[in-house]
Amino acid sequence: MHGTLSARRSISATTLAFVLAFEACGGGGPASPDDATGSGPPVQVVLFTHIEDNTPAGRLGDAQNRLAYVNLRTRLLAMARLAKRYDATWSLQPDWKILLAALAYEDATLRAGTGGLNLFRFLRDSLGVAIDPHSHENGYNYTDVAHLLDSLGVGGSTVIGGHIWDPALPLFQRWDRFRVPVAGLRYPAARWRGDILMGSGTPNHTNDPIVSGVWRPKDRNHYWEDDPAGNIAAIGQWRNGVAGVRELAGLYRAGTVGAGCMLTASLHVTPSTLMGAGGIGELESTFLKPLAALRDSAQARLTDFTSLVGAWRSTFGAKACLYRP
């Protein structure tokens, strides 16, 4: 076995029960309804893009900023249409700046090309894009971003689109504050509570954990332990893009991970790739074609973070399972 299914690498008496439950996923877990071939259920894969708080470039209201927004808008639509052509779900997670730009620039001229809808409404309602809040909490927190999504008519997601799991973070950045609704900074009357964590990052992504699966972190000091009573679920992001998805599918086939354990991977379509000269073609060959092939061979399911957690609850019985190499 090349990895372990566990809540922590260091096992103490207080965590042994959790670890034993996780280890049970390794070989003899109950078969999933999707496990019709004996090769394991499909790996749950989310293709996503973060739009950061410096995008679009320039000062809001300037001609340069509007042009940057329009150019990015064109590429986002192209990406969404590509994903739809492959019948693949794509999750877009914007920070505050592009949302304010949309509120400022989505006039009748721009909306004429998107059925009279603003960009985000068209992406979600016509092209099937999942839209979640993303925030670096630099002046605008997650609740502010969720409020701006509401203002554009695309609110409702409870996905916390990226977080740092480090327990040493300042209080205002800790993920567990979402145990209860959080007030906005720019819009203090707004309230929002996220209950799905994706990312589990480290500062500047210098030492991100390699983990696949879904669990409910117990608390900030016991992040890798599942708390069945917890009201926030975390999704492991895994590694190595499409090759990593193939690796996870191989774990099912080899029996290293049992069919009762949901394995997960999230693949980042970066804005720099999206905006590159050959961006759309590169994304098709790098992500969409190989992922569609994995889906068509029942090795992967292309989904979004909300639907993934829904399937974890309905199909896998909300059974916490982490795979860490």
Q: What is the pLDDT of residue 207?
A: 66
Closest-CA residue to 60 (of 10, 98, 25): 98
Phi and psi (nearest 5°) for 62? -80, 155
Q: What is the pLDDT of residue 204?
A: 64
Percent of the chain with pLDDT over 90: 79
CATH number, span 16-323: 3.20.20
Q: Is the model's pLDDT at 307 over the cut of 60?
A: yes
Kindly report, residue by residue over 71-96, the tens digit of the pLDDT. 999 999 999 999 999 999 999 999 99
How far apart are alpha carbons 299 and 272 in whole angstroms?
29
Q: What is the pLDDT of residue 279?
A: 87
Cα-based torsion angle of the residue sequence 241, 244, 249, 255 in order, rounded to the nearest 10 degrees: -160
Confidence band (pLDDT; 50, 70, 90) for 38?
Answer: low
Kindly report, residue by residue over 172-189, the tens digit of the pLDDT. 678 999 999 999 999 999
DSSP annotation string for 167-193:
TTS-GGG-GGGGGS-EE-SSSTT-EE-
Token pair for 219: 């608390």
Kindly report, residue by residue over 98-134, the tens digit of the pLDDT. 999 999 999 999 999 999 999 999 999 999 999 999 9
Token pair for 67: 């042009």
Q: What is the pLDDT of residue 184?
A: 98
pTM for the model: 0.89
Kindly report, residue by residue over 181-240, the tens digit of the pLDDT. 999 999 999 999 999 999 887 666 666 789 999 999 999 889 999 999 999 999 999 999
Report the relative pairing of strands 159-161 and 182-183 from DSSP bridges: unpaired
Q: What is the pLDDT of residue 2?
A: 36
Helix (H, G, I), strand (E, B) or coil at 49: strand
Q: What is the pLDDT of residue 202?
A: 65
CB-count exposure of residue 144 (10 Å: 0-12, 13-18, 19+): buried
Task: Return the bridge partners of 266, or none.
Answer: 46
